[in-house]
Structure 1
Amino acid sequence: MKTGWTLLICLSLIILAVRSADHIHGTAQIVPLRTTPEDNIRMRGGAPFKIALFADLHFGEAAWTEWGPQQDLNSVRVMSAVLDKEKPEFVIYLGDVVTANNIMIKNASFYWDQAVSPPRDRGIPWSSIFGNHDDAPFEWPIEWFSQSGIPQLHCPAANASFASAGECSFRGTTRLELMKSEIEQNTLSHSKDGPQNLWPSVSNYVLKLSSSSNSQAAVVYMYFFDSGGGSYPEVISDAQVKWFQQKSEEVNPDSRVPEIIFWHIPSKSYKKVAPKFNVRRHCVGSIFSEDVAAQEAEMGIMKVIEKRASVKAVFVGHNHGLDWCCPYKKLWLCFARHTGYGGYGNWARGARILEINEKPFSLKSWIRMEDGHLHSEVLLSS
C-alpha cells in the first residue's frame, strides 16, 4: 500500500515539474491568477461554438492503491483525446470531479487541479458544477483495519500548487474551498460560488454566450445548478428555483434567447421519460444500462423549466451507465457520457459534445468516445 501512495505523489510531482518546465521554455500557456470570474463568453465569427461535457471523473479514488493514481492518468488521457479530436471552445465539468470520500489529504484541490489540467494546458476555458462526491466525507476503508494494516501515509509535498499541502487530516474539503481554489488559481475558469443565500448549494450561476459581432447580444444563456449530495441532501431547493425564476427574468425577460441547463443529479422527470425496460422510441443514445438515480425530492424546478419555451435541454451526469437524450414535453433531457476511469462501471469512456450555431440558432449534440468514434448525434433545437 505504501507503494501505491508513493506512486501517486511521484506522478503528481512529475506532472507539476513538467508543467513548470513547459512554462519556462514557452511551450505552455502562462495562466495568471484571477479573482473575479467572467460571465460572458464570445462566439467566433462564422463558426459554431463547441462545448465538451466531462462527467464523473472521480479523481483521487482509492488514492492509497496502485489502481487509483493510474485511473487518474487514464482520465486525463480520455479528456486529452476528446479535446484534441473535437477542439471545443469551452469545457463543462458536470460534477463528481473528485471522489472526496476516498481523499485523505486536507485539500482535495490537489486532485481537482489535475482534473482541470487538460483544457488549461490547451488554453481552453471551462466551468464546473458540484456532484454528490465532490465534498463527501472521508470513508475509512475497512481493509485498513485488517491484518495488512493502515498504509503509511504520505501527503503531497509542501511546495505543491495549493495551500496547506503537507497536511493529512481526513477532514475533507468544502465546496466553497474547492471553488475558491479553482477560481483564484485559473484565469480560464468561469466557475462561480453563487449567491450566498443559496449556500450550502454553491455552484449556481449563469453564463452568457454572446454573438461574435456584438458582445451585448446573447446567443444562448447557460444556467448551472448545484444539485446537492455529499455534505447535504441531493436536491435542487425551493430557494434555487426562486433564484432561477428571478435570474432568468432578469437576463432573458421575454424568453427570446435560447437557454440550456446543467446540473449533476437527474431530476425525477428523468425517471419518467426513459424507464430502463421501456425506453421511448424517440430517445437517442447507446447505453440504457441502469435505472435513473434521481434527486431525493422534487422542489419545483422542472415545473418552472417546462413553462419556459426558451429552455432547449437539461444535461446531467451521475448515472455512469446512461448516455441518452430523450424528448420531454417541449425540451430534451440528456445524460452526458461517463468520462473518468474512476467510479463504477466498465462502459467505454467518452464525452458529450454540444455544438451551437448562431444564425439560425441550432443546438446539436453527439458522443465522442476515447477511441475517436462518434455516435448518437441528435438535434436538440427542433
Structure 2
Amino acid sequence: MKSSCLMNRLVLFISAFVVLCNGTPVCRGVLDPYPNKPKLTFRDDGTFKITLLSDLHFGENPWDDWGPEQDANSTKLMRTVLPDENPDFAVINGDLITGENTFRGNSTSLIDEIVGPLNELKITFASSHGNHDNQVNITHLEEILREQAVAPLSYTRTAPPGVGGEHGPGNYWVPVKSPLCVRSPQGQDHAKDLPGGVDQNGDAIPDWVDESVAKWIKIETQRMNAAWGPSEKRGALAFVHIPPHVVQDLRGGLDSAKEPGLNADELGAGSSQASGSDSVFGNDQPFWDALTENVPNLHAVFSGHDHGNEWCSRDNSKDVIFCFSKHTGYGGYDHGWGHGVRNIVFSSPSPTTAPETWIRMEAGDVHARITLDENYGR
C-alpha cells in the first residue's frame, strides 16, 4: 500500500509562490507538473527541511581577481553548509547573478557554478529571481533555461503564458508527497518571481510582483481546492526576492528581544516593492492581498534583497509573518555582517503545525531561532 502512494503534502510555488500540500492521489494527474522527476517527500518521521540561500551575486568584477574570488568563496560556503544541514529541499531566493556587472558572452555559464554544489550533493532545489537577474547581460528567462539544462534536480520552471508580466516568467509550484497514504491535503507553500532591475536596453523594470500573479494565485488555489479539498487543510510558505512594501511599517516596531536577527539595513526607496515614489507605492498590494486572502495557514513569507536584515515580524493587518533570508553570497554589498543561510523545518505535515526557523552562519554558529506560530510577533 505504502509503496504505491503518490500523495502530496508539500507544494512549492517558487519565484513568487510555493505550496505545501498533504497526500492526495490527484497529484498523480493534472496537478503534478513533474511526472518525470523524483517525488519530493516528507521524511518518515514527518519532518521536512528547507535551506534558504539568498543573494549569491555571482559574476561581479569578472575583469579582475576580486570577482572570481567572491564566487569561489560563495561556492565554498555552499559546499560547507549544505552537507552539514542536509536539507530535503533548497531555495535560492533571488539575485543569483549581478547581471549588470558580468560579461554578456558567458553570463549564463555562471549558473553552472551556482548549481554545482547542489548537483554534487544531489539536493533538489528551485530558484526565484531578483532585480539583479534582469539586467543588460542576463534575464530571468535565460537563467531558468540554463538551470533546467544543467541541473537535473532543479524544479525551477516558467509560469503559464501571461503570468508574471514580460519580465517575471518564473512563477510556479512544486508538489511534495506524504510519506503515508493520507487522503486530505495538509500543507501548502508559495513563492513568486519578482521582476525589477533593467531590461537589455537599460530601461527600468517594475520591482513589484505583477498583478497577473495575484489572479494566478486565486486560480491555482481554486484548482487545488477542487482537487484536494479546502485550503484550510493545507499549510503554506511563500518566497519572493524583494520584500513587499508592508515591511517598511513592520521595521519601526521591532522588539529585538522578541523578534531577533540582524536589523542593519534601512528600509526605503528601492529596498521594498513599489517604493520608487509615492505614486507607485503599493503596486504590490494585489499580490499581497491575493496571497494572504487565498492561502489559509500561511506560516510565513520570505524575501532576500536587503543584505543586512534577518528579522521576522508579523503584519497584523493580514495576520501573517514576514521574514528576511540571510545574505549567503560573497557578492553584493556587505558591511561585515557575515554569510550564511536560513533553515526552515517542519516537525509535522499537519497544516497547523508551525515550522521552526533560524539563521546558520558559514562557520556553523546559529542564532535567531524562532517558531513561526500564532504567538510570534504578538
TM-score range, shorter chain: 0.7 to 0.9
RMSD: 2.2
Structure 2 counterpart of 1:69: 68
For the residues of structure 2 that align with 1:216 and 1:127, how far apart are their CA atoms?
A: 27
Match of 1:334 among 288, 306, 323: 323
The amino acid that maps onto 1:229 is: G
Match of 2:230 among 235, 246, 254: 254
Query: CA offsets, 1:191-213, max 9 Å, x none?
Result: 11111212421110112222111
Alignment of 1:1-382 (within 5 A): 38=37, 41-137=40-136, 172-198=137-163, 199-200=165-166, 201-214=168-181, 218-230=185-197, 231=199, 232-252=205-225, 254-256=230-232, 257-275=234-252, 278-280=253-255, 284-292=259-267, 293-296=271-274, 297-307=283-293, 308-329=295-316, 330-345=319-334, 346-358=336-348, 360=350, 361-382=353-374
The amino acid that maps onto 1:268 is: H
For the residues of structure 2 that align with 1:287 and 1:258, how far apart are their CA atoms?
A: 27
For the residues of structure 2 that align with 1:47 and 1:221, how far apart are their CA atoms?
A: 15
Query: CA offsets, 1:182-228, max 9 Å, x none?
Result: 11332100111111212421110112222111387644222221111
For the residues of structure 2 that align with 1:310 and 1:331, how far apart are their CA atoms?
A: 9
Aligned to 2:71, the other structure's residue is in SS state helix
Contact 1:59 1:97 in 2 (8 A): yes
Contact 2:358 2:367 in 1 (8 A): yes
For the residues of structure 2 that align with 1:364 and 1:214, how far apart are their CA atoms?
A: 25
For the residues of structure 2 that align with 1:40 and 1:244, how far apart are their CA atoms?
A: 23
For the residues of structure 2 that align with 1:193 and 1:129, how far apart are their CA atoms?
A: 11
Please state how far the C-alpha of 1:238 moved relative to its aligned partner.
Answer: 1.3
Deviates more, 1:266-275 or 1:209-218: 209-218
Please state how far the C-alpha of 1:37 moved relative to its aligned partner.
Answer: 7.4
Structure 2: where are the runs of 5+ without partners? 1-33, 200-204, 275-282
The amino acid that maps onto 2:250 is: V
Aligned to 1:279, the other structure's residue is in SS state coil
Aligned to 1:133, the other structure's residue is in SS state helix
Query: CA offsets, 1:31-60, max 9 Å, x none?
Result: xxxx97759521121152111111000001
Query: CA offsets, 1:338-369, max 9 Å, x none?
Result: 00000001311010000012255331101110
Aligned to 1:106, the other structure's residue is in SS state helix
Aligned to 2:148, the other structure's residue is in SS state helix
Going from structure 1 to structure 2, the CA distance change for 1:78 and 1:247 (only over 3 Å counts) comes to same
Percent identity at matched positions?
29
Going from structure 1 to structure 2, the CA distance change for 1:215 and 1:206 (only over 3 Å counts) comes to farther
For the residues of structure 2 that align with 1:281 and 1:71, how far apart are their CA atoms?
A: 31
Going from structure 1 to structure 2, the CA distance change for 1:259 and 1:359 (only over 3 Å counts) comes to closer
Aligned to 2:145, the other structure's residue is in SS state helix
Query: CA offsets, 1:114-149, max 9 Å, x none?
Result: 111112110111000111001212xxxxxxxxxxxx
For the residues of structure 2 that align with 1:108 and 1:215, how far apart are their CA atoms?
A: 45
Contact 1:37 1:192 in 2 (8 A): no
Aligned to 2:187, the other structure's residue is in SS state strand
Deviates more, 1:336-345 or 1:322-331: 322-331
The amino acid that maps onto 2:328 is: T
The amino acid that maps onto 1:373 is: D
For the residues of structure 2 that align with 1:299 and 1:39, how far apart are their CA atoms?
A: 36
Query: CA offsets, 1:74-129, max 9 Å, x none?
Result: 11122222212211111100000111111113342211111111121101110001
Please state how far the C-alpha of 1:374 moved relative to its aligned partner.
Answer: 0.8
For the residues of structure 1 that align with 2:160 and 2:258, how far apart are their CA atoms?
A: 35
Q: Which has the larger radius of gyration?
A: 1
The amino acid that maps onto 2:289 is: K
Going from structure 1 to structure 2, the CA distance change for 1:215 and 1:189 (only over 3 Å counts) comes to farther
Contact 2:254 2:313 in 1 (8 A): no
Structure with the greater relative contact order (CA < 8 A, sep ≥ 6): 1 or 2? 2
For the residues of structure 2 that align with 1:217 and 1:130, how far apart are their CA atoms?
A: 32
Query: CA offsets, 1:252-277, max 9 Å, x none?
Result: 462220011001000011111113xx
Query: TM-score under structure 1 normalisation?
Result: 0.77
Aligned to 1:353, the other structure's residue is in SS state strand
Going from structure 1 to structure 2, the CA distance change for 1:210 and 1:283 (only over 3 Å counts) comes to farther
For the residues of structure 1 that align with 2:102 and 2:348, how far apart are their CA atoms?
A: 43
Aligned residues: 313
The amino acid that maps onto 2:272 is: A
For the residues of structure 1 that align with 2:98 and 2:78, how far apart are their CA atoms?
A: 17
For the residues of structure 1 that align with 2:193 and 2:47, how far apart are their CA atoms?
A: 28
